[in-house]
Structures are given as structure tokens and as C-alpha cells.
Structure 1
């Protein structure tokens, strides 16, 4: 692992453990046993480190969603697997979503990138749900705004489950990921036909 990658991993560990308020570039450098100058050679500001970690998170999520999209025969079970894998990625970068409103204000570029990502994801989910209605997996008769509300609910669970967990159950690792995968499944349940439920 090169120095840049080590900086990102060390910063990720410290941010996840102690949050973004108390950790500075000097803390990260000290944890690594390098000089602050060496760290700043790779990342001028701590916000650059946070941005790089956000981009790594976004890339991981893009790769997972691409896998779902590539499966033309994607079933509800596949989406549930995607959800579980997504929660694992989000847990790995959990400090971002535990501090996301503040990070968005502090680093406007991240807020802008997130807004673009959400719009793209909305289209992807709506496209998938439309296909499921055609295949008899999702119940028909739901107006488009109702399906759009389901997408919003998916984002609410995806973006805020970490804060909910931190304030309530305080589950760790795979236990947390499984618990909120179950919550995700509950969102889909009312929309699934008998055929869809069998595929779940």
C-alpha cells in the first residue's frame, strides 16, 4: 500500500472512530508516524482527504448498482443482495453519513456530486420497478408518484440508517448490515405480487 492509500485508510479509521470534529491532518500523520508535511504533499487539506474518501464510497456504490443493472433478469432477491452489499460499503465509510449534512455544507462539491448521484439512482430504480411491473413481480396500479415515494424511502433508509443505529440499537458490522437489510426488505414487501414474494 502506497503512502497516499495509507493516509486514506488511516483517516477512514480515525474518522469512523472519533468523527470529523477532533481529527486533523496532524492526528492522521501522527497515527501513521509521518510528518504533517509528508501528508500535505499528498493532500493539501483534510477536506481533500474527506473528498477522496467520498469518491471511493461513490465508486463502490456505482460498481454494485452496475451489477444490478447488468442483470436483465434481476429479481427482488438480487436487489436484497445489493442492499446488503450496499450497507456493508456504507458501514465501511460510516463517518460520512453520520456527519453528512455538515460535510455537505463544509465541502459544497460533495453536496453537488451527491445531488447528481441521487438523480441518476432515481432513474435507475424507477426503470427497474417499471420492468418488475411488466414481469408481474411488482403489483400494477400504483401511480408513478407512489413508486417515486418508494425510491425516496429507499434513500431515507440508505442514507440515515447509520444515524438511527447509532442512536438506538448500536449494532456493529454484519449485525447492523443484516438488521437494516431487513428494513429494506420491508419497504418492498407491500409492492410485490405473489410471484415477486416467491422470488424474494
Structure 2
């Protein structure tokens, strides 16, 4: 995924619309929609504002386009996680790592969600549906881990554990960005987030079944966005 620097033009393949979306994602992740102007987006792509408005008349339409792309990426992840896709099977570690990378790639949506929902009511319902879909994936994976005797979670602890795993795995990037001032993620930051989740499972691990799942760590360099 190609992105722009703070002052340079975007360098990526594809049509103008796709280049606008890529540039906007990078700028929104860096500073948030409220602090990015359409003039800056156009300048980053190397087009005039009239050309930008031909594709996207408002910043709201840009946010909705980015959410639609995130939604599609999240659904691809969900299908793969639930075993409905083609290709090699993914380990729990790989799946969680993939989700973390996805959250980081679209981190402005999570970091600025409350502000976006307040100014863009059209975003609230689809975001809630997407969140429910992803939480369902987390629940399915947890129940699979229980069936495979990786963890032993008492019935009364399943719902609290699901909620905590969802919160940490979805908002870890927001925490690092807001609380630690981290704007660029490296493999160490991804490891940090993954290990926060691993600690949630720690009390429930079955020693004989946990060797291939924990401790969680990165295996690939993260994409930069």
C-alpha cells in the first residue's frame, strides 16, 4: 500500500479515484479528517480541487468511501478467519496479527469514531453492523479454541472475555496513538498489542494445547500506512 509523505505527492498505481482514496487514508490516519483540507488532498495526489470534486464532492463522501473499503477488507478477513476462503489455513496468531494490521491501516476510523459519528450519522449504523460481525468472528474463534482444548473458559467468563478481547484487539492502536504519541507502527508495537491480548487468555490456557498459539508475536514486517 503506497502512501504519501507529509509534503510529497502520492506515488501509487491506479486511477485518480483510487489515488485520492489512498492519499486521503494516509492524511486522515496522520492527523484526522477535521485537520485535513480537500486542497491538501488534491495537492498530495497532484490534481486540482475541481478534479477531486469530480470524484468526491465532500470529505464525508471520502470517509464513507474509506469505510466501505475497510468494510470489504474486514469481510475478507472474516471469511478467511472462519475458514470460508481459499488458500492455506491461518493460525490463531496469524489471524490476530492480520486483524491488528487492518485496524492500524484504518486507525483514523477507530481513533476518531465518536467525532465522525457525531458529524456523519450515516456512518453509525454500518459501523455498528461491522463491529457486530467482527465480534461474531472473535466469538467463533474463541469457541474453536475451546473445542480444540487450547483454552478452558468457564461459561460465565466467555462473554466478559469476548468483550475484553474485542476491545483490546480493536482499540490497541488508538491507545498507542493517543496515550503514547506513536504515529508510526513497527513490529515491536504490533508485538505489544498482540501480547496484551495473549495476557487476556493466559488464565484460561491449557498448557498442553497452548504451545502453538502463545506467546503471540509478529512474523512479518507490518505494512506502513
Q: Per the shorter chain, which TM-score range?
A: 0.7 to 0.9
Whether the 8 Å contact between 1:80 and 1:185 is mirrored in structure 2 is: no
Aligned residues: 193
- CA RMSD of the aligned region, Å? 2.1
Shift of 1:108: 1.9
Could you tell me which residue of structure 2 aligns to residue 45 of structure 1?
A: 58
TM-score by length of 2: 0.77
The correspondence of residues 35-184 of structure 1 with structure 2, limited to 5 A, is 35-70=48-83, 78-139=91-152, 142-143=154-155, 145-166=156-177, 167-168=179-180, 170=182, 172-184=185-197
TM-score by length of 1: 0.86
Deviations 1:130-150 (A, max 9, x none): 33333322215x12x521211
Deviations 1:138-174 (A, max 9, x none): 215x12x521211211221123212211212726233
- Which range moves more in the overlay, 93-102 or 168-177? 168-177
Greater fraction helix:
1
Shift of 1:175: 2.5
Could you tell me which residue of structure 2 aligns to residue 74 of structure 1?
A: none
Change (3 A) 1:31 1:133: closer
Whether the 8 Å contact between 1:91 and 1:173 is mirrored in structure 2 is: no
Q: Distance in 2 between matches of 1:169 and 1:175?
A: 15
Deviations 1:38-73 (A, max 9, x none): 1111111111111111221222222122112107xx
Note the residue ranges of structure 2 that are not aligned, 5 or more in a row.
1-13, 85-89, 214-225
Matched, 1:192 2:205: yes
Change (3 A) 1:118 1:32: closer
Q: Which runs of 4+ in 1 moved over 4 A?
A: none
Note the residue ranges of structure 1 that are not aligned, 5 or more in a row.
72-76
Deviations 1:16-39 (A, max 9, x none): 222222212122112223121111
Change (3 A) 1:94 1:40: same
